[in-house]
Structure 1
């Protein structure tokens, strides 16, 4: 199959796709752009390599959400933040974390479906509640971690880990998952 035939096939599948798939890919594109732009606007100097690697990986994630490009994109943005960012939690970190979370959730949702899939609203609703809970919990956990970090409380790592485990359990049960062995 030639490149032109592949592009024609992909465009035909894109025209046949439903709104939910297109919306999820739009969320990937917008949240990924925010995850690239917010660290670039911070006062510290970000490595020039991050946008050069991040933009192609973001485009590949939008086009092929079931590929490894999404994971590589998340690792690139995280690596860029860890290499040059200050050690304390900031609003830029919280916004970048929320954007990366949205990229992850939208990619996980879209990767399950072929590009031409038409899905029912119930499938989107099933992802909406856990996604909203996770998006709202990120700043809460970041603020709680910042408060505990500055308090010099013995066992503050246990408090942070406990909060993350509680948040994970909340998202797990909100998604309708069961604790059964199959």
Structure 2
């Protein structure tokens, strides 16, 4: 297949895309841009590798949501934050966390749905509740971690890990998942 045929095929697939696939991919692009942008405007010096690897991985995630690019994007942005960011929890951490969460959820949805599929509202109902719980829990966990961090509580790491495990369990069961095999 020649490059011109590949571009023609890609444009034909783009024209055949339905609203749900386009919306999910636009959500990935916007949330990823927010996560990259928030980490770029922080007063501390971020790694130069974050935008150099993050931007191409974000583009690759939008184009191919079922590829490894989404995981690499999440690891690069979160890893860049963990390596250079100060220890205190602030609004930058919360916004980056929400952006990465939305990237994760929208990429998971876009990876499951072919671009030509017609998606009804009933299919989206399974995603609304876990997504809303996740987006609301990120600031709560961040604030709780900030309070525990400043309180010199013995075992504060265990308390934070327990809160994250509880949040994961709530989202898991809100999504209608079951423990064990059916």
TM-score, normalised to structure 2's length? 0.94
**C-alpha distance in structure 2 between counterparts of 1:166 and 1:49, whole Å:** 33
**Aligned pairs, number:** 182
On the 8 A contact 1:17/1:118 being kept in 2, the answer is no
In structure 2, list runs of 5 or more residues that go unmatched: none
Q: Which residue of 2 aligns with 1:23?
A: 23
> 1:100-146 CA deviation, whole Å, 9 max, x = no partner?
11111111111112222222211112111101110110010010011
- The CA distance in 1 between the partners of 2:156 and 2:123, in whole Å, is 38
User: Is residue 50–residue 77 contact of structure 1 (8 Å, CA) maintained in 2?
Assistant: yes
For 1:48 and 1:16, how far apart are their aligned partners in 2? Answer: 38
Range moving further from structure 2, 16-25 or 156-165: 156-165
Q: CA deviation at 1:70?
A: 0.6
CA deviation profile, 1:2-43 (whole Å, cap 9, x unmatched): 222222222222222221111110110000001111111010
CA displacement at 1:155 relative to structure 2? 2.6
> Quick check: 1:131 aligned with 2:118?
no
- Distance (whole Å) between structure 2 residues aligned to residue 126 and residue 12 of structure 1: 30
* TM-score normalised by L of structure 1: 0.94
Q: Whole-Å Cα distance in 2 between the matches of residues 162 and 48 of structure 1?
A: 33
Residue 97 of structure 2: aligned partner:
97
For residue 154 of structure 1, report the CA deviation from its aligned partner.
Answer: 2.0
4+ runs of 1 displaced by more than 6 Å?
none
The equivalent residue for 1:140 is: 140
Structure 1 stretches of 5 or more lacking a match?
A: none
Name the CA distance, whole Å, in 2 between partners of 1:180 and 1:75.
Answer: 29
Quick one: structure 1 residues 136 and 21, their matched pair in 2 at CA, closer, same or farther if it must change by over 3 Å?
same
Q: How far apart, in 1, do the equivalents of 2:47 and 2:157 lie? A: 30
In 2, distance between residues paired with 1:78 and 1:32? 12
Name the CA shift for 1:117/1:7 in 2 (closer, same or farther; >3 Å).
farther
Q: CA RMSD in A?
A: 1.3
Matched position secondary structure for 2:13: helix
Worse-superposed segment, 59-68 or 12-21: 12-21
